[in-house]
């Protein structure tokens, strides 16, 4: 074994990313490939084909998670795994999720080229519906795997057209047979690394190409339904209105003000809203919208929850509307495994770089994987810190360097025999 750190073929990794990005390519250079659509099927088939070409065996579980396995010399060892997701936001980019999966495929390609046999098996995972855009809950496949919610709950989830996860999995041919959760018998991974773009401005502003992710913000997601009464926009006096839109507006601004009350880590977002009947001269009788709260501290995240509910009670009274708040996602702030984080710092050091410790503002499948095995993440910068946007971009050298760190950290964990 040479003492030089192992490197990936960054040109090939980049080429694979661009090939995958063609599936759902948008005019603005992004990707729209929603979970369990036919585009997701095509992308799954493409990546599974690449893994099979490298001699991997493929396992698909009952929530559609895909595990692409390269054997090790000791099959009794739990797999050292990596991966991410290939479903995207409607105005998603080429790299969110896709990078983590293809960096893992590139590690397998290099192990084969270098004829290195690891001791522990290596697995690359594609987790189902990480984005939570078409179906809720978010990070669905990894959440079922870790027991954050049941398989039945996830398979029963429906999109805006009423299509269930179960039907969508069947439609794309990824209704797998193996158990989907560790509790039900899914193989427990030995360790899980995930490479991902930062999706924020920190690394780029610090001019650091590598982040050792120590943890991730906790999240609470809500569906809020406000019921007032439709009425005529002209004859109805202001004092007699039950205006669901005006009530909603109060909570939209409260979402922002509550997040601002809990800085620096507080985050509050209203990303989606439906208005009924959505006619310009009818006072809205119904408004349904989403709230996404995040914080690094669990007690603070709970305080944000309480502030929202208190504000909603006051608004319901002031605007004579009914307000229903359903929490649809909750996970506490995550602290990744210190040993794995250190192996990421060490792999970065071996390449001549000092990785910057950083907390993830985004949720990732590693958050749920961390409930079942040691997990940690590698971040690389993305241009202007922009993601969940079609202009999302990352530099080939950073993509390659992040994959080099993944390679080194995984080998250190899996053990490498003869080459
Ligand atoms: O919402 C998130 O943090 C991730 O993109 N699913
Ligand atoms: Mn992602
Ligand atoms: Mn995302």
Please choose from 132, 194, 200, 268 the residue to mutate so as to test ligand 1's pocket, defined by most ligand atoms within 8 A of CB: 132
Tell me, in angstroms, the distance from the centre of ligand 3 to residue 362's CA: 7
Residues 209 and 232 in one domain: no
Residues 372 and 239 in one domain: no
Question: Which ligand 1 atom minimizes the distance to the CA of 363?
Answer: 3
The pLDDT of residue 3 is 72
Residues 163 and 248 in one domain: no
User: Is position 250 within any domain?
Assistant: yes
Measured distance CA(168)–CA(105) in Å, rounded: 26
For residue 268, the SS3 value is strand
Omega of the bond leading into 89 within 30 degrees of 0 (cis): no
Tell me, in angstroms, the distance from the centre of ligand 1 to residue 342's CA: 25
CA pseudo-torsion sign 101, 40, 25, 289: negative
In contact, 29 and 18? CB cutoff 8 Å:
no
Tell me, in angstroms, the distance from the centre of ligand 3 to residue 13's CA: 20
Measured distance CA(389)–CA(32) in Å, rounded: 10
Residues 154 and 38 in one domain: yes
Measured distance CA(158)–CA(136) in Å, rounded: 8
**In which residue are the tokens 């099927």 written?**
41
Number of domain units in the chain = 2
Residues 339 and 327 in one domain: no
Residues 134 and 191 in one domain: yes
Reading the block at residue 306, the tokens are 């309480």
Measured distance CA(400)–CA(213) in Å, rounded: 18
Omega of the bond leading into 69 within 30 degrees of 0 (cis): no
User: Is position 85 within any domain?
Assistant: yes
The pLDDT of residue 249 is 98
Question: Which ligand 1 atom minimizes the distance to the CA of 388?
Answer: 5
The pLDDT of residue 318 is 98
Residues 40 and 133 in one domain: yes
Tell me, in angstroms, the distance from the centre of ligand 1 to residue 115's CA: 37
- Phi, psi of 107, rounded to the nearest 5 degrees: -60, -45
Q: Which ligand is nearest to the CA of 294?
A: 1
Measured distance CA(220)–CA(412) in Å, rounded: 35
Residues 347 and 203 in one domain: yes
- Residue 24: CA count within 13 A, CB half-sphere: 30
Counts of helices then strands in the chain (DSSP H, E): 12, 16
Tell me, in angstroms, the distance from the centre of ligand 1 to residue 95's CA: 13
Residues 287 and 143 in one domain: no
Question: Which ligand 1 atom minimizes the distance to the CA of 362?
Answer: 3
Reading the block at residue 273, the tokens are 């809203």
Tell me, in angstroms, the distance from the centre of ligand 3 to residue 130's CA: 7
User: Is position 175 within any domain?
Assistant: yes
Q: Which of 70, 72, 142, 77 is nearest to 107 (CA)?
A: 70
The pLDDT of residue 105 is 98
- Phi, psi of 123, rounded to the nearest 5 degrees: -130, 140
- ∠ CA 6-13-65 to the nearest 5 degrees? 100
The model's pTM is 0.95
Question: Which ligand 1 atom minimizes the distance to the CA of 387?
Answer: 5
Residues 40 and 122 in one domain: yes
Q: Extract the residue ranges of the chain whose pLDDT is less than 70.
A: 1-2, 417-419
User: Is position 1 within any domain?
Assistant: no
Give residue ranges with CB within 6 A of ligand 1. 130-132, 138, 362-363
The pLDDT of residue 4 is 82
User: Is position 2 within any domain?
Assistant: no
DSSP 341-396: HHHHHHHHHHTT--PEEEEESS--HHHHHTTTS-EEEEEE--GGG--SSTT----H
Of 274, 303, 331, the domain-final residue: 331
**In which residue are the tokens 């009425």 written?**
231
- Phi, psi of 356, rounded to the nearest 5 degrees: -90, 125
Reading the block at residue 191, the tokens are 């360790």
Residues 163 and 271 in one domain: no
Question: Which ligand 1 atom minimizes the distance to the CA of 294?
Answer: 3
Question: 15-30, pLDDT tens digit by residue?
Answer: 999 999 999 999 999 9
Residue 320 is part of a domain; what is its CATH number?
3.30.70.360
- Strand pairing class (66-70; 80-84): unpaired
Q: Which helix (H) or strand (E) holds 123?
A: strand 122-126
How far is CA 374 from its chain centroid? 18
Residue 278 belongs to domain spanning: 218-331
The pLDDT of residue 163 is 98
In contact, 43 and 142? CB cutoff 8 Å:
no
Residues 63 and 127 in one domain: yes
Please choose from 198, 271, 360, 363 the residue to mutate so as to test ligand 1's pocket, defined by most ligand atoms within 8 A of CB: 363
Tell me, in angstroms, the distance from the centre of ligand 3 to residue 196's CA: 10
User: Is position 35 within any domain?
Assistant: yes
Residue 133 is part of a domain; what is its CATH number?
3.40.630.10
Measured distance CA(108)–CA(26) in Å, rounded: 29
Reading the block at residue 230, the tokens are 């439709």
User: Is position 3 within any domain?
Assistant: no
Of 312, 331, 350, the domain-final residue: 331
Of 315, 331, 347, the domain-final residue: 331
β-pair partners for 197 = 380
Measured distance CA(318)–CA(174) in Å, rounded: 49
In contact, 221 and 291? CB cutoff 8 Å:
yes
Cβ atoms within 10 A of the Cβ of 22, count?
A: 12
User: Is position 229 within any domain?
Assistant: yes
């Amino acid at each position: 074994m040479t003492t030089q750190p192992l490197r990936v073929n960054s040109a090939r990794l980049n080429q694979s990313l661009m090939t995958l990005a063609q599936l759902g390519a948008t005019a603005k250079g992004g990707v729209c490939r929603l979970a369990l659509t036919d585009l997701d099927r095509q992308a799954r088939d493409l990546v599974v084909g690449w893994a099979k070409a490298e001699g991997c065996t493929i396992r698909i579980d009952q929530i559609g998670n895909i595990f692409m396995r390269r054997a090790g010399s000791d099959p009794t060892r739990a797999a050292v795994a990596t991966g991410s997701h290939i479903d995207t936001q409607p105005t998603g980019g080429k790299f969110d999720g896709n990078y983590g999966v293809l960096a893992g495929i590139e590690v397998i390609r290099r192990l084969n080229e270098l004829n290195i046999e690891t001791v522990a098996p290596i697995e690359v995972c594609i987790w189902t519906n990480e984005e939570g855009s078409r179906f809720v809950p978010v990070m669905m496949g990894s959440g079922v795997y870790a027991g954050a919610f049941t398989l039945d709950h996830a398979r029963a989830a429906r999109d805006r057209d009423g299509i269930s996860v179960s039907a969508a999995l069947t439609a794309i041919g990824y209704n797998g047979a193996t158990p989907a959760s560790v509790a039900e018998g899914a193989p427990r991974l030995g360790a899980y690394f995930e490479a991902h773009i930062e999706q924020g401005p920190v690394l780029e502003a610090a001019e650091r190409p590598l982040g050792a992710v120590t943890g991730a913000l906790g999240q609470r997601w809500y569906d809020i339904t406000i019921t007032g009464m439709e009425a005529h926009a002209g004859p109805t006096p202001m004092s007699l209105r039950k205006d669901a839109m005006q009530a909603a507006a109060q909570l939209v601004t409260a979402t922002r003000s509550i997040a601002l009350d809990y800085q620096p880590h507080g985050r509050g977002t209203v990303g989606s809203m439906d208005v009924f009947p959505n006619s310009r001269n009818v006072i809205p009788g119904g408004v349904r919208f989403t709230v996404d709260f995040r914080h690094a501290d669990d007690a603070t995240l709970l305080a944000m929850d309480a502030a929202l509910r208190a504000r909603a009670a006051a608004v319901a009274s002031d605007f004579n509307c009914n307000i229903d708040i359903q929490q649809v996602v909750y996970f506490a702030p995550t602290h990744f495994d210190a040993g794995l984080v250190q192996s990421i710092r060490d792999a970065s050091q071996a390449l001549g770089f000092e990785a910057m410790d950083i907390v993830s503002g985004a949720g990732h499948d590693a958050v749920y994987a961390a409930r079942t095995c040691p997990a940690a993440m590698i971040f690389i910068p993305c241009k202007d810190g922009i993601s969940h946007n079609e202009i999302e971009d990352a530099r080939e050298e950073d993509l390659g360097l992040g994959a080099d760190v993944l390679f080194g950290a995984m080998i250190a964990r899996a053990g490498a025999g003869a080459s």
